[in-house]
Amino acid sequence: MTDSKKVRRTSGKRERLATAAAQVLHAQGVAQTTLADIAQAAEVPVGNVYYYFKTKDDLVEAAIGAQAENLRGMIAALDELPAPAERLKALLAGWVEQRELTARYGCPTGTLASELDKRADGLDRSIATVMRALLDWAEQQFRAMGRADARELAVALIASYQGISLLTNTFRDPDLMTAEAHRLERWIDSLTEGPTTGDDDARE
């Protein structure tokens, strides 16, 4: 009733839960993660979770939202760079930086998509939205590089990332990520060099 209570509106617990959920779900997978796991990670009593999230799926959705937020932040940072090719290569660098985490748990977005796509919930659409945002951004970069086949190139790039993340995780070998990133870097370079109007998408 007092103001002091009104001021710290949600006391940040909701956000804390979403962040914890994102981390734990990435590390353990949706099915293997219990509400208690997330509650514990967020240092919130289990019963209290339901004040903020009506159901477990709601919490998963919030975790997806947290991931979307992360992605937005990353993209914003990349957009600071002047040239589109530079931005894309900075994206690659970020992937390489995360390679240890990827080797252990895979790409956060990809593993979530893979698991949720088997469900009839709306959750599968939520994660698709996040994936599409990344795709759209990449497409913009390729378009800014003057490529008419920007969408196709964007799909190819993100697919390569998702796939190498899977392999990196499957074989628990972060070096796979490093090598593929280098390959993709050279590929991006090759796209800018040639006459931009051609269909020069040969990957090597």
Partner DNA sequence: TATGAATGAGGTTTCATTCAT
Partner DNA sequence: CATGAATGAAACCTCATTCAT
Q: Which stretch binds DNA (CB under 7 A): 8-16, 144-152, 185-193, 195-203?
A: 8-16
In angstroms, rounded to a whole number, what is the distance separating the alpha carbons of residues 99 and 93? Answer: 10
Nearest to 37 by CA among 173, 28, 127, 63: 28
163 binds, among a second copy, DNA, none (CB under 5 to 8 A by kind): a second copy
110 binds, among a second copy, DNA, none (CB under 5 to 8 A by kind): a second copy
Residues that bind a second copy (CB under 8 A): 27-32, 105-106, 110-111, 113-115, 117-119, 124, 127-128, 131-132, 135, 152, 155-156, 158-167, 169-171, 176, 179-180, 183, 186-187, 190-191, 201-204
In angstroms, rounded to a whole number, what is the distance separating the alpha carbons of residues 161 and 177? Answer: 8
Tokens describing residue 139: 């497409």
Q: Using CA atoms in the order 72, 78, 79, 81, what is the torsion angle rounded to 10 degrees?
A: 170
Tell me if 14 sits within 8 A of 44, measured CB to CB.
Answer: no
Question: Does the footprint of DNA cover residue 119 (CB under 7 A)?
Answer: no
- Rounded least distance, CB 166 to a second copy, Å: 5
CB nearer a second copy, residue 34 or residue 77? 34
- Where helices occur in 145-173 by DSSP H, the ranges are 150-170
In angstroms, rounded to a whole number, what is the distance separating the alpha carbons of residues 139 and 7? Answer: 42
CB nearer a second copy, residue 76 or residue 120? 120
Residues in the site for DNA, rule: CB under 7 A?
A: 1, 5, 9-11, 13, 33-36, 44-52, 54-57
